[in-house]
Structure 1
Amino acid sequence: MDARLRRIAAKLALVRGLPGRAYSFGEEKHRFRLGPPLPESRVTAFETEHGIRLPQCYRSFLTTIGHTGTGPHYGLESLDDWYHAVLDIPRPGHLATPFPLSPTGPAPGPDWYEALDGDDPEPFPGALTLAQRGCSLATLLVVSGPARGRIVNVDLDLGPPAFCHDSDFLAWYERWLDETANGLDRSGFDVSLPYDVPTLTSLLREAPDPAQRDAAAWTLGRYPTLPPAAASALRAAAVGDVDAGVRRAAVIALGRRPGPADEATLAQALTDPCDGPRLAARGALSRRGDAWQAQAQAQTRAQATRPAAGE
């Protein structure tokens, strides 16, 4: 067993009973219980049947740690149920057909499905279901094509898919265990960055890509407590970032557990020229008691008399 598998096995034995740990949406289904490992012969038979080789990280997990149960959202799906989120019934060749998107290509837009080849293309070939996320949402593991080994979140109603930032299955799974142990807010796991707080703080302050700054702010906001440097970076981004989306993400992060300095920043964000940060600040402050309710309502009335500002 390699080092990552040993770490994951040790964390699985400890995390469930940790005081102050986070409780995942859907945990009531798997109850933090993982099924036993699969025999090598069972995994090999699956690969032969579908004409694929499972990514080694996932394969090793199945044969040495376990399968079905403990995991993000409603837990890991059984290998037998690989098709549940993407097909009504299994189709020959589905897993061997390359997944049509790549994490290194342009982010798929609203019309991504219409751009696929064919009159009625299958949207998610080459991927098996890892976890159901509720409603039409699911998390898949790509097993064929240039994105092989990566985790992708999909909307069965054909909203744009989004690749997780984790490098492979084990990185994704161990991040979920670490976040659970550290009490991170259960929302946002699928879009969070897999970095520590100092790295996230640096990205929020310095990353040239606003999408990275946005994700860094969102990820920091999931922590139950933050060191002063990270909190300061969020306050600076909430009122000073040039991108309205980043300002909104920072405002939402501050609004989850605001201290006095955060409340002052949220009050300043009430005058943001863009709707996203301003409405996020108004929502956060309106939950802080009668005094803030009154200020937020006054700001609403004042804003109603101004021309609408675009994002």
Structure 2
Amino acid sequence: MGGMDADHADPADLEALRAAFDVDSCEPPLGWEAVRAYEAERGIVLPEPYRTFVAEVCDGSASGPPDYGLLPLVEMPEDWGDDRPQRVLAKPFPLTVPWLWEGDEGDPRQPEEIDEAKSQVFDHGSIVLGTDGCGMYWHLIVTGPHRGHIWNISGEGAAPFGAEFGFTTGSPGFAGWVKHWAAHEPWFDAV
């Protein structure tokens, strides 16, 4: 997985994360007790370095990334909608490769099966880090084979962030995603 370690926080990554965020626009960190309570309640362990970041550095920031700011751990984007299914973080995120469902007439599944699969992409095994607007959400995968990776999920499809997936030159994972943003690189700079 490109050297990404979702179980241990690299001190250099934490330093880069501290440097990337404007301290004045950060929400106070949650602390370890609150992070562990959140994890226990949902049956997950947040991937590093995000876990240490929200416990010790910053629980959300108005300055981003993404464009509309990094959401606090327990919040959802304002445009997410109240009529959506319950999010289940302990159920594995179902994808390991991009899926462009808009315009995919070749999918052999029934429309109900496709809708259920899309619902799982949006609501299983991830936390929502924030939005770039227009229904483009950034998710941190917390359960499943892609744990620790960042995915961009929108009405058109879902794609992982990281150079090995072909859409960007950025490194995978939360630290790579933030570093790419802090360098003022466009998200999809390899297309």
- Verify: 1:79 aligned to 2:84, yes or no: no
Q: CA deviation at 1:8?
A: 2.9
Question: Structure 1 segments of 4 or more deviating over 6 A?
Answer: none
CA change 1:52–1:11 in 2 (3 A) is closer
Q: How big is the alpha-carbon RMSD for the aligned residues of Structure 1 and Structure 2?
A: 3.0
Q: CA deviation at 1:96?
A: 0.8
Q: d(CA) in 1 for partners of 2:44 and 2:181?
A: 27
Aligned length: 163
Which piece of structure 1 moves more, 130-139 or 107-116? 107-116
Output the TM-score relative to the length of structure 1. 0.46
- Verify: 1:169 aligned to 2:168, yes or no: no
What does 1:124-163 align with in structure 2 at a 5 Å threshold? 124=122, 125-155=124-154, 157=155, 159-163=156-160
The aligned amino acid for 1:9 is R
Q: Secondary structure at the match of 2:15?
A: helix
> Per residue, is there more helix in 1 or in 2?
1
Q: Is the 8 A contact 1:84 1:129 kept in 2?
A: no
Residue in 2 that maps onto 1:235: none
Who wins on radius of gyration, i.e. which is larger?
Answer: 1
List runs of 5+ in structure 2 lacking aligned partners. 1-9, 163-170
Q: Is the 8 A contact 2:32 2:56 kept in 1?
A: no
Which one scores higher on RCO, CA 8 angstroms, separation ≥ 6?
2
What does 1:236-275 align with in structure 2 at a 5 Å threshold? none
Residue in 2 that maps onto 1:37: 29
Residue in 2 that maps onto 1:100: 94
Identical counterparts, % of pairs: 31
Q: Secondary structure at the match of 2:49?
A: helix
Q: CA deviation at 1:51?
A: 0.6
Q: d(CA) in 2 for partners of 1:67 and 1:116?
A: 40
Residue in 1 that maps onto 2:166: none
Q: d(CA) in 2 for partners of 1:83 and 1:145?
A: 23
Q: Is the 8 A contact 1:83 1:128 kept in 2?
A: no
Output the TM-score relative to the length of structure 2. 0.72
List runs of 5+ in structure 1 lacking aligned partners. 17-31, 193-214, 219-311
Q: d(CA) in 2 for partners of 1:58 and 1:132?
A: 17
